[in-house]
Amino acid sequence: MRENNKHSVAVIGGGVAGMSAACALAEAGFSVQLIERRGYLGGRASSYLHPGVNEVIDNCQHVLFGCCTNLIGFYRRIGVAEKIHWTSDMSMIEPGGRRSRLGPFKVGPMRLPAPLHGAPSLLHAKAFSLADKVAVGRAFGAMMRIGSLDYSTESLGDWLRRHKQTPGAMSRFWRLVIASALNADIERIAVHYAAKVIRELFLNSAQAGAMGMSIVPLSELYAGVEKFLTQRGSSIHYNTNVESLDWDEEVMQWSVATRAGVLTSSYVVLALPFEAMGRLIPNLPPADGAATLAKQIAQHQHWPICSVHLWFDREITDLYHALLLDRDIHWLYNKGKLHPWRRLNGSYLELVVSASYDFAALTREQAIEHSVRELAEFFPEVKTAKLEKSVLIKEVRATFGVPPGIDAARPSEIATWPNMFLAGDWIDTGWPSTMESAARSGHLAAEALGLEADLPLLCLESDLKPKGFMRLVPDPNPWY
Ligand SMILES: Cc1cc2nc3c(=O)[nH]c(=O)nc-3n(C[C@H](O)[C@H](O)[C@H](O)COP(=O)(O)OP(=O)(O)OC[C@H]3O[C@@H](n4cnc5c(N)ncnc54)[C@H](O)[C@@H]3O)c2cc1C
């Protein structure tokens, strides 16, 4: 164990970014105090006991992919990597119930080499016409050439029109699969973020595109964080809102003021969402660069995600999850199947609606009635099933948008104040607003802090290497 008092760190914010930074730093021997405003960890990716239905629910289903190497590394560090259910199949269902499957094509253990591994299922997908498939295939080819650092000012919508995408490809693939993954309207997405999603989820390898879902409520995933930290001489302060910070140049120390008192530390990692960071800037010591950071933050915009949780008295579908086409609800997750420990007599489904301000404006009754009506178009069993209970969760500030030009508004992990580092999904990770971006930002901040403290540590996980023919396609952005 390294000397603690000299290397104490206050990590502010107990979301995925703060937890990843705190655990990596504690493992490297720093004495960490993780400070969280709420009474539990997880931030925007958490679960809680909903008093209305007496069930533990996630604030929304969170999915990850094989390419999320830092998030998986964080799960491994805290010993919960086994609690992720992985699947390579993505079912698309049309109103009326016709199903198509996207995902890697296998003959026994054999797969076609990347990027062709997903081509047979796309070609067989009944949800797309031949013209749609040709259009999507052409766009994939063009997107392979777009690097993550190609800061084009063109929106995804304009790019797709320029690449002559058919109405079917636009509505069933680009609007649903890609815009919902980036949680924004296609007119408000920078092309290189869409290209990154396409490359990672559909082209680089089957492993990169495999989808993971937790088999326990999200907050249970983080139950190991407290033990991990305390075993390494670190601690968590719950229900502790940080109000201001002061730097003492003489003793090279931060004072972190909370309602419960003042904590001190040599280093600080601010792992906050962009609005909370913006609110804190006036309560930090004056510094060059503070105004620039405030201006960057002002350019960010949040997008909503709504989830509708439904408990029926019987099984509605055998699928674990599905994409629902042509309606307002986008994703279905069969939580009863994902969480067999719930021992339900019927079923528990979660429906997710991405990036819709219209849906977010509905009342609870309207949203549930509308969702059940739409669900019945895909699964006739819904018409005869009894809806036993339901919950609507509106997360108005779910994710930040990635419009053209946003990269200039994503600061690096090194803050303008001394011995201070930034984390959070919105900082410059090259990733959209995801748990992977948050975990990556935490690891970037931990590494930068280690360098500053003269105790270098390596916790940033390598990206998955492209497989098959994709090894021959130059990586447009090798350092991320
Ligand atoms: C509905 C919804 C669905 C999503 N779906 C997915 C998905 O499927 N896959 C995916 O990868 N991502 C998804 N995301 C995005 C993902 O949840 C976020 O990108 C990620 O959790 C952000 O983590 P973070 O640590 O950067 O920020 P946060 O989770 O916001 O954590 C910040 C923490 O700081 C705390 N805090 C704030 N102010 C203070 C203060 N002054 N003092 C102390 N503590 C403070 C907050 O309470 C919070 O716990 C979804 C998000 C939402 C809301």
Which atom of ligand 1 lies closest to the CA of 425? 26
2, pLDDT greater than 50: no
* Residue among 35, 40, 272 to mutate when testing ligand 1 (max atoms within 8 A of CB): 272
Cβ atoms of 466 and 473 closer than 8 Å: yes
DSSP H or E stretch at residue 168: helix 167-168
Q: Which pLDDT value is given to residue 179?
A: 83
Which atom of ligand 1 lies closest to the CA of 438? 26
Banded model confidence at residue 474, pLDDT cuts 50, 70, 90: confident
469, pLDDT greater than 60: yes
Residues 382-410: tens digit of each pLDDT: 999 999 999 999 999 999 999 999 999 99
Residues 93-131: tens digit of each pLDDT: 999 999 999 988 876 667 799 999 999 999 999 999 999
CA atoms within 13 A on the CB side of 14: 26
CA atoms within 13 A on the CB side of 284: 21
Q: Which pLDDT value is given to residue 109?
A: 67
Cβ atoms of 360 and 398 closer than 8 Å: no
Ligand 1 mean position, distance from CA 447 (Å): 21
Any idea what DSSP says for residue 283? G
Q: Which pLDDT value is given to residue 353?
A: 96
Q: Which pLDDT value is given to residue 25?
A: 98
Average pLDDT (336-360) is: 94
Residues 239-294: tens digit of each pLDDT: 999 999 999 999 999 999 998 899 999 999 999 999 999 999 999 999 999 999 99
Residues 284-310: tens digit of each pLDDT: 999 999 999 999 999 999 999 999 999
Banded model confidence at residue 3, pLDDT cuts 50, 70, 90: very low
212 in contact with ligand 1, CB cutoff 6 A: no
Per DSSP, the three-state class of 65 is strand
Q: What angle do CA 298, 420, 252 make, to 5 degrees?
A: 140
Measured in degrees and rounded to the nearest 5, phi and psi for residue 163 equal -95, 25
Mutual orientation of helices 16-27 and 435-452 as an angle, nearest 10°?
40
Judged by phi (left if over 0) then psi (alpha if -120 to 50, else beta), residue 433 lies in: beta
Q: Given CA atoms 463, 464, 468, 470 in this order, what sign does their dihedral have?
A: negative
What contacts 24+ positions apart, CB below 8 Å, involve 248-255?
A: 249/418, 252/418, 252/419, 254/10, 254/419, 254/420
Average pLDDT (420-435) is: 97
Ligand 1 mean position, distance from CA 45 (Å): 6
Q: Which pLDDT value is given to residue 480?
A: 43
Banded model confidence at residue 78, pLDDT cuts 50, 70, 90: very high
Ligand 1 mean position, distance from CA 47 (Å): 12
Banded model confidence at residue 332, pLDDT cuts 50, 70, 90: very high
Ligand 1 mean position, distance from CA 147 (Å): 27
Interacting residues of 8 by C-beta distance below 8 A, sequence separation 6+: 30, 31, 32, 33, 264, 265, 266, 267
Q: Which pLDDT value is given to residue 91?
A: 95
Range from 55-64, 335-344, 375-384 carrying the lowest mean pLDDT: 335-344
Q: Closest Cα to atom 52, ligand 1: which residue?
A: 398
Q: Closest Cα to atom 35, ligand 1: which residue?
A: 13
* Residue among 12, 23, 41, 62 to mutate when testing ligand 1 (max atoms within 8 A of CB): 62
- Relative to beta strand 55-58, strand 106-107 is unpaired
Average pLDDT (131-147) is: 92
70 in contact with ligand 1, CB cutoff 6 A: no
Type of residue found at 366: Q
Q: Which pLDDT value is given to residue 476?
A: 64
Ligand 1 mean position, distance from CA 18 (Å): 10
- Relative to beta strand 8-12, strand 31-35 is parallel
Q: Which pLDDT value is given to residue 110?
A: 74
Q: Which pLDDT value is given to residue 103?
A: 87
* Residue among 84, 262, 426, 435 to mutate when testing ligand 1 (max atoms within 8 A of CB): 435
92, pLDDT greater than 90: yes
218, pLDDT greater than 90: yes
Specify which residues 55 forms β-bridges with: 50
Q: Which pLDDT value is given to residue 106?
A: 72
Type of residue found at 345: N
1, pLDDT greater than 60: no
Banded model confidence at residue 475, pLDDT cuts 50, 70, 90: low
CA distances from residue 342 to 22, 45, 213, 321, 350 in whole angstroms, order as listed? 32, 20, 16, 17, 14
> Which tops the pLDDT comparison, 151 or 114?
114
Per DSSP, the three-state class of 404 is coil
Q: Report the C-alpha gap between 234 and 27 in whole angstroms.
A: 10
Type of residue found at 242: V
Average pLDDT (305-322) is: 97
- Relative to beta strand 63-65, strand 211-214 is antiparallel
Q: Which pLDDT value is given to residue 473?
A: 84
Q: Which pLDDT value is given to residue 195?
A: 92
The b-or-e profile of 446-473 (16+ CB within 10 A means b, else e) is bbbbbebbebebebbbebbebbbebeeb
Cβ atoms of 160 and 174 closer than 8 Å: yes
Q: Report the C-alpha gap between 454 and 451 in whole angstroms.
A: 5
Q: Report the C-alpha gap between 80 and 389 in whole angstroms.
A: 30
Per DSSP, the three-state class of 393 is strand
Q: Which pLDDT value is given to residue 178?
A: 86
Q: Which pLDDT value is given to residue 385?
A: 98
Percent of the chain with pLDDT over 90: 89
- 391 exposed, middle or buried (CB, 10 Å; 0-12, 13-18, 19+)? middle
Average pLDDT (299-322) is: 97
Q: Closest Cα to atom 10, ligand 1: which residue?
A: 434
479, pLDDT greater than 50: no
Q: Closest Cα to atom 34, ligand 1: which residue?
A: 13
pTM: 0.96
Mean pLDDT of the chain: 94
Average pLDDT (22-43) is: 97
Type of residue found at 290: A
Q: Which pLDDT value is given to residue 404?
A: 94
Q: Closest Cα to atom 8, ligand 1: which residue?
A: 62
- 233 exposed, middle or buried (CB, 10 Å; 0-12, 13-18, 19+)? middle
Q: Report the C-alpha gap between 445 and 359 in whole angstroms.
A: 36
